[in-house]
Amino acid sequence: MQIRVINPNTTASMTEKIGEAAQQIAAPGTRVVATNPRSGPASIESHFDEAISAVGVLEEVRAGELEQADAYIIACFGDPGLLAARELTRAPVIGIAEAAFHMATLISTRFSIVTTLGRTGIIAEHLLQSYGFAHHCRRVRAAEIPVLDLEDGGNAALDRIIEECLRAKAEDNIGAIVLGCGGMADLREQISREVGLPIVEGVTAAMKLAESLVSLGLGTSKHGDLAFPRPKAFSGQFEYLSGPGR
């Protein structure tokens, strides 16, 4: 089984970290291919960043189709381009936010999210509403750290995340915490030890869901809105998408 894990930003060190976290949790025989777009933002911290990065996500799915990937993971907590990516393939496509929300509700009746910046927390709130999990989430908390601070190798960012998780445990009356950034993929076990609550991290959650769907023979439905896009003419820089075979 080959699972293509797509980091929608262009920071290679984060892609490597995400890939390692996914491979460590993978079942024997599962091969993780971690990749990121060649063009796009270095980190994703706004609606604008998400919109730009979605094109890169779709290009990575197209590349994965040529390699016959069995499933895809979009490793950004905004799940950029998720539904469009599902249109391009019969394979399962899992967004890490949606995966984390599902997993958290299986082990607790209430959870909080700890993410990087307050503005991305608002994006997470939109997703909770869209996916139908808003009534399960008590609070979305921000450690107020830029995403790329998770790549600097120091402990300052980790310490702030742990502090916010401890506040969530003390104040939110919850049973679990969801980490709200793909760049936290390697921090789950350490945070869980420090906080003493189940910590759900989206990359690893998505890996197990993707493996399960592939094992069950379940792929993206091509009946209805997730059918392959209809052939049509594109212009300008997207002219290469014209006609069939997208």
68 three-state secondary structure:
coil
The span from the CA of 10 to the CA of 52, in Å, is 11
Provide the whole-model pTM: 0.96
The tens digit of pLDDT for each residue in 150-170 reads 998 778 999 999 999 999 999
The span from the CA of 41 to the CA of 151, in Å, is 15
Task: Give the amino acid at 143.
Answer: A
Task: Give the amino acid at 2.
Answer: Q
Could you tell me which of 164, 156, 150 has the C-alpha nearest to residue 114?
Answer: 164
The span from the CA of 33 to the CA of 156, in Å, is 30
Residue reference for tokens 């069939």: 244
Residue 152: what are its φ and ψ, rounded to 5°? -85, -5
Domains contained in the chain, CATH given: 2-95+205-241 (3.40.50.12500), 97-202 (3.40.50.12500)
Query: Bridge partners of 19?
Result: none
The tens digit of pLDDT for each residue in 187-218 reads 999 999 999 999 999 999 999 999 999 999 99
Task: Give the amino acid at 38.
Answer: R
The tens digit of pLDDT for each residue in 107-123 reads 999 999 999 999 999 99
